[in-house]
Amino acid sequence: MSAAASGLVEAMQIAHAPSVWDEITIGPTSWFVYGGGGVGGTGSLCGVPNGVCLVLNMCGQHSLASKVMDYYTWTPFPTNAVDLAYDPETWHSSKQVPIPLEYLTPTVAESPLCHVSISKYCAANGVTLADTDGQGNIYKNDRCAKIACDLAAFALELMQGVSYTSHGVSAQTSTCIGCHNSSADSVIPATQGNMECAGCHTDEAVIVQNGHWGGGGGGHPGNKPK
């Protein structure tokens, strides 16, 4: 396994062997190793939903990608799913064992970005990227591995027809979208997408909450240029 995106595809290859999945290169030469660390280590799109959506696309289920992104964005991670499945008698990893959830503080990313997701988790748990528990298990790696397992199972459920109701965007972000990417009357800067705004744009968040739309404060001009 080499990073979350390629690791998920590698797991799929192993689960389906022997099959056409065997043609996919794995390990350090994986086609999908680029996804590690938020695409080339930039902290952008997390490798876990990236890898899951790759698999869905390869299976002709790309329409489910938005549900994967929603689930990743709004689920408190890590969950206890891996803890419940953990069996020391059959666990073959010599590098990492699950850290019990009772010792962790799950966090909701509210974003698909690796940078936001990891930073919020490390801050809530008071750890660095390299900090370990008493057994030498890295807190950050524990969360990433658990999310990979959780989202892989979630994607399989979606492919099997299990229903999932998306959270959608928050009321606050919906208000932002209403002006910034809805029509020819949108304000500048025009934007695209439905990521949560307040995680990064804290000044705009205050403006939205307090209803201060005029005067150009916080990037909100009273009128867009003619």
**For the segment 24-64, what is each residue's pLDDT rounded down to a tens digit?**
777 777 788 888 899 999 999 999 999 889 888 888 899 99
The whole-number pLDDT of residue 175 equals: 83
Say what percent of the chain tops pLDDT 70. 81
The two structure tokens encoding residue 13: 């290859």
pLDDT at 182: 67
Interatomic CA distance for residues 155 and 205, integer angstroms: 32
- Residues 36 and 4 sit within 8 Å (Cβ to Cβ): yes
pLDDT of residue 187: 74
Per-residue pLDDT of the chain (226 residues; tens, 9 = 90+): 456 777 777 776 776 667 777 777 777 777 888 888 999 999 999 999 998 898 888 888 999 999 999 999 999 999 998 888 888 777 766 667 889 999 999 999 999 999 999 999 999 999 999 999 988 899 999 999 899 889 988 988 998 899 999 998 888 888 888 888 766 666 777 788 888 887 777 665 455 554 444 333 344 444 333 3
Judge whether 47 and 38 are in contact, CB under 8 Å.
Answer: yes
Looking at residue 201, its pLDDT comes to: 75
Res 134: pLDDT: 87
- Is the CB of residue 77 less than 8 Å from the CB of residue 121? yes
Cα distance between the two ends of the chain = 54
- The pLDDT score that the predictor gives to residue 93 is 61
pTM for this predicted structure: 0.81
Give the number of other Cβ atoms within 10 Å of residue 200's Cβ: 13
